[in-house]
Amino acid sequence: MIEEISPDLFRIQVPLPNTPLKFLNSYVIRSPRRSLIIDTGLNHDICFEALQTGLKQIGVDPSGADLFITHLHADHFGLVSRLATADTRVYFNRPDAEIIESWEGFGPMLEYAGHNGFPVDRLRAALAAHPGSRFGSEWVPPLEMLADGDSIEAGPYRFRCVSTPGHTLGHMCLYEPRHRLLIAGDHILIDITPNIQCWSDAENPLKAYLESLDKMAGLDVARTLPGHRRLMADPRPRIAELQAHHQARLAEVLAILAEGPRNAFEIAARMTWDIQADRWEDFPVAQQWFATGEALSHLRYLEEEGKITRFTAGEGVRFSLEE
Ligand SMILES: [Zn+2]
């Protein structure tokens, strides 16, 4: 499905087969000079064909377009290798690029998950089927780094880059003040909650995410263009909901720990999730993985706030309300 949201700014809905996200919203700015494609879809024939068909319908030749990618996840970055030519400028951010450059597979994440109580053998099998490993970009062209506050022009639009770490370390939104448009990537979504996972003790992604939400709340926006699902008008009501959601989650984690010390996997099993399964044991392993990463982002936040402590016994990490 294609719609013109604003003059020469289109949304192409790219289907994401077998994912609960359903679609990726690719935004395209048509210009007689260089067009701009913002986010692409998985490196999957279904995505590629949907995007190509959409571009053709609006008269954009991909070889005359540049790319802006909000963050490194495969549903946004995946088609870069099929779209980029020698002339394409691919705009991206430094922190996510460093993750791509230093990527050595899921090993460190698996080890971290194991220390936090996750049954690693089940996870290893699930990761082999994960869209991120199967449908990522085949190669990474030279990337042009943009930083917070940089500008990027396309057609009649002049966007300002707004760095919004949280969903990933380097996630970046685009704000167009004159047209009051916000390209939000996966920072602000409606109907679904952006996933904030933590798989390293060096990070505090939930803190970064909440700070990035505060940053957004100060922008004057009439239309919010997210990476999935439907568009929003002013994002502030949704920002308030997302903030409240995470405060409630933090309280839930503290209530679980009031029963006694637990590891992250056990805590995730006791949290409430919007997943259609009666028992934690019946969750697909990929969902357990997301849930545990999400639990860990809340645990890291509470730990840095000084509200909980960890203790390590053997290989395992447990969290506790006690000093
Ligand atoms: Zn996404």
CA distance 213 to 182: 13
CA of 293 to the centre of ligand 1 (A): 16
CA distance 258 to 254: 6
pLDDT of 133 above 70: no
Q: Could you tell me the CA-to-CA distances from 187 to 12, 179, 194, 238 in Å, in that order? A: 19, 20, 6, 11
pLDDT of res. 138 = 78
Residue position matching structure tokens 């604003």: 6
Instruction: Dump pLDDT digits (tens) for 50-89.
Output: 999 999 999 999 999 999 999 999 999 999 999 999 999 9
> Do 162 and 150 contact (CB within 8 A), yes or no?
no
CA distance 138 to 74: 11
pLDDT of res. 132 = 67
Highest mean pLDDT among 136-150, 235-249, 261-275, 306-320: 235-249
Q: Kindly state the average pLDDT of the residues 219-238.
A: 97
CA of 77 to the centre of ligand 1 (A): 9
> Do 50 and 41 contact (CB within 8 A), yes or no?
yes
CA of 231 to the centre of ligand 1 (A): 14
pTM of the model: 0.94
Question: Given pLDDT bands bounded at 50, 70 and 90, which one contains residue 209?
Answer: very high
CA of 254 to the centre of ligand 1 (A): 29
Q: Kindly state the average pLDDT of the residues 111-118.
A: 94
DSSP of 206-231: HHHHHHHHHHHHTS--SEEEESSS--
323 against 16, higher pLDDT:
16
CA of 85 to the centre of ligand 1 (A): 24
Q: Could you tell me the CA-to-CA distances from 8 to 11, 27, 30 in Å, in that order? A: 10, 10, 5
CA of 232 to the centre of ligand 1 (A): 16
pLDDT of 120 above 80: yes
CA of 70 to the centre of ligand 1 (A): 9
CA distance 64 to 108: 39
pLDDT of res. 308 = 97
pLDDT of res. 126 = 80
Question: Given pLDDT bands bounded at 50, 70 and 90, which one contains residue 131?
Answer: low
- Report the relative pairing of strands 65-68 and 35-38 from DSSP bridges: parallel
Structure tokens at 288: 């357990």
CA of 62 to the centre of ligand 1 (A): 21
- Contacts (Cβ under 8 Å, ≥6 apart) of 155: 8, 9, 29, 30, 31, 35, 36
CA distance 190 to 235: 9
pLDDT of res. 298 = 98
pLDDT of 21 above 70: yes
CA of 96 to the centre of ligand 1 (A): 14
Whole-number percent of the chain with pLDDT over 90: 82
Q: What is the mean pLDDT of the chain?
A: 94
204 against 315, higher pLDDT:
204
pLDDT of 168 above 70: yes
- Contacts (Cβ under 8 Å, ≥6 apart) of 268: 280, 288, 291, 292, 294, 295
- Report the relative pairing of strands 151-154 and 143-145 from DSSP bridges: unpaired
CA of 225 to the centre of ligand 1 (A): 13
Cα dihedral 52, 162, 196, 73 sign = positive
CA of 58 to the centre of ligand 1 (A): 23
CA of 261 to the centre of ligand 1 (A): 34
CA of 133 to the centre of ligand 1 (A): 15
CA distance 296 to 138: 30
pLDDT of 130 above 80: no
CA distance 209 to 244: 13
Q: Which fold has domain 2-320?
A: Metallo-beta-lactamase; Chain A (3.60.15)
Residue position matching structure tokens 């009051």: 180
CA of 73 to the centre of ligand 1 (A): 6
Residue 203 has phi, psi (to 5 degrees) of -120, 160
Q: Which residue spans within the chain are E strands per DSSP?
A: 2-6, 9-15, 23-29, 35-38, 65-68, 90-92, 143-145, 151-154, 157-163, 172-176, 181-185, 223-226, 309-313, 316-320
